[in-house]
């Protein structure tokens, strides 16, 4: 009997290659979908977790970023940052902040740390760990104590609502996780969160600004019985914005990190008992430049 091998089936190589490509694309799409879902889930988890990080942890993370040395790192060259007048100004700012903290019933564990920075930058910013930085350029632009209270109350509102923590949720959640396992690296935290310069330039969302404004309104009504100081502050920055900001002397960073002064002025003016009242001129030693003080409204 004669045996013979059966003929090999003819293979369509082009069809096989096309099938392999389709299978590869299906796998690629599946992997991509899994990665996207995982990233979105982790992002949402970080956003949810960040404001629930204990405030004491946030303070420790802020220390690794050296935010307690902001006056030295941010001060303009040639300005005596720790001189007698600078210390006097910072003491006054702390007194105002303490009154505002009591008016807003800030939790005792949420300590607000006021830092004064001698710099022409026109801004005040709440960073991490309860740090509020007030630049001398801002004090040079305002005229009344009620405006100063409005600025500080707004920034303290950001702290109470943990807005900066939410803004930096992904990096801060990772830093907190590393903190739990004992890894406390200032270099790593700066890479995850950013340095002081970046924190200064971050802009809050409209929702965050509205919440901080609401805190400022509550503080102004409690301390002064009126929101005139808050409305005056927004009116002043509205004028600075129209005048071109930096052309008036000093970078108006406040307008980048605190947008829409006109809309917020109208909202402050519309608050209960938000009408005009007599305002208290800011003490002259609070300024680094001579700025004529307007007379308070009768």
Structure confidence at residue 291 as a pLDDT band (50, 70, 90)? very low
Under the banding of pLDDT at 50, 70 and 90, the label for residue 292 is very low
Instruction: Give the residue with greater pLDDT, 58 vs 292.
Output: 58
166-200 burial by CB neighbour count: b if 16+ within 10 A, else e? bbbbbbbbbbbebbeeeeeeeeebbebbbebeebb
The structure tokens listed for 187 are: 């270099």
Stretch 25-41: mean pLDDT: 74
pLDDT grade for 117, boundaries at 50, 70 and 90: confident
Q: pTM (2 decimals)? A: 0.68
Give the tens place of pLDDT for each residue, 217-241.
999 999 999 899 998 998 888 787 7
Per residue in 78-107, pLDDT (tens digit) is: 444 556 788 899 999 999 999 999 999 999
Which whole number is the average pLDDT over 14-18?
66
């Amino acid at each position: 009997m004669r045996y013979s091998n059966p003929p090999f089936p003819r293979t369509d190589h082009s069809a096989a290659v096309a099938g392999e490509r389709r299978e590869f694309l299906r796998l690629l799409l599946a992997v991509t979908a899994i990665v996207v879902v995982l990233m979105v889930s982790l992002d949402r988890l970080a956003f949810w977790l960040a404001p629930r990080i204990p405030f004491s942890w946030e303070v420790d993370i802020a220390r690794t970023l050296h935010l307690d040395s902001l006056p030295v790192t941010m001060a303009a060259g040639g300005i005596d940052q720790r001189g007698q007048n600078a210390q006097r100004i910072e003491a006054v700012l702390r007194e105002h902040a303490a009154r505002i903290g009591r008016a807003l019933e800030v939790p005792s564990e949420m300590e607000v740390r006021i830092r004064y920075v001698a710099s022409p930058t026109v801004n005040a910013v709440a960073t991490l760990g309860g740090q509020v930085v007030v630049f001398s350029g801002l004090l040079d632009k305002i005229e009344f104590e009620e405006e100063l209270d409005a600025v500080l109350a707004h920034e303290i509102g950001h702290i109470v609502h943990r807005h900066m923590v939410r803004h930096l949720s992904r990096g801060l959640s990772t830093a907190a996780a590393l903190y739990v396992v004992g890894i406390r690296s200032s270099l790593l935290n700066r890479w995850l969160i950013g340095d002081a310069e970046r924190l200064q330039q971050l802009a809050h969302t409209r929702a965050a600004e509205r919440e901080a404004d609401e805190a400022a309104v509550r503080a102004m009504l409690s301390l002064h019985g009126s929101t005139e100081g808050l409305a005056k502050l927004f009116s002043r920055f509205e004028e600075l914005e129209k005048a071109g900001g930096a052309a008036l002397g000093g970078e108006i960073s406040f307008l980048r990190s605190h947008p829409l002064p006109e809309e917020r002025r109208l909202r402050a003016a519309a608050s209960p008992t938000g009408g005009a009242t007599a305002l208290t001129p800011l003490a002259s030693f609070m300024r680094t430049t001579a700025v004529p003080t307007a007379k308070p409204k009768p």
